[in-house]
Amino acid sequence: MPRTIEQVVTFRTTPERLYRLYLSPRQHAAACGGWGKAKIQARKGGRMQMAPHITGTFLSLVPGKLIVQTWRGSDWKRSDLDSVLILAFSRRQRGARLAMVHANVPDAHARSITKGWHTYYWQPWKKYLRRRRA
């Protein structure tokens, strides 16, 4: 049965910066530690690929506030439906809050993807943003 992953992370930056970081191919790849090459068409219907692991299509983009996209792992079964990723950005007193909902994640991959968001995204993003602030 598919799973839903929910995570909330805070960053010492602005919501707009996080939004741009995710949608900029160069920044996305650099902030994730360079583990994959990012190809991003930042528009509704545009494609996203974090080679060779992740592909998706943008369903909705609200600048500085919201990204909704399909998301699919390269190791998923053909019979697995695409998951849906929602990233909501909001301002906080000391930075930004990112609320993530990742729905319809295949059960066989839910544990590794849950951990992977922290390992490949949130922790490297925080490190990347600290380096950019210094």
- The percentage of residues in the chain with a pLDDT greater than 90, rounded to a whole number, is 87
| Mean pLDDT over the full length of the chain | 95
pTM of whole model > 0.75? yes
> What pLDDT, on the 0 to 100 scale, is given for residue 52?
81
CATH among 3.30.70.1140, 3.30.2290.10, 3.30.530.20, 3.40.50.150 for 3-133: 3.30.530.20
Task: Quick: pLDDT tens for 11-70.
Answer: 999 999 999 999 999 999 999 887 668 899 999 999 999 878 899 999 999 999 999 999
Domains of the chain by residue range: 3-133
CA distance 89 to 1: 29
> What pLDDT, on the 0 to 100 scale, is given for residue 36?
67
Three-state secondary structure of 44-72: CCCEEEEECCEEEEEEEEECCCEEEEEEE
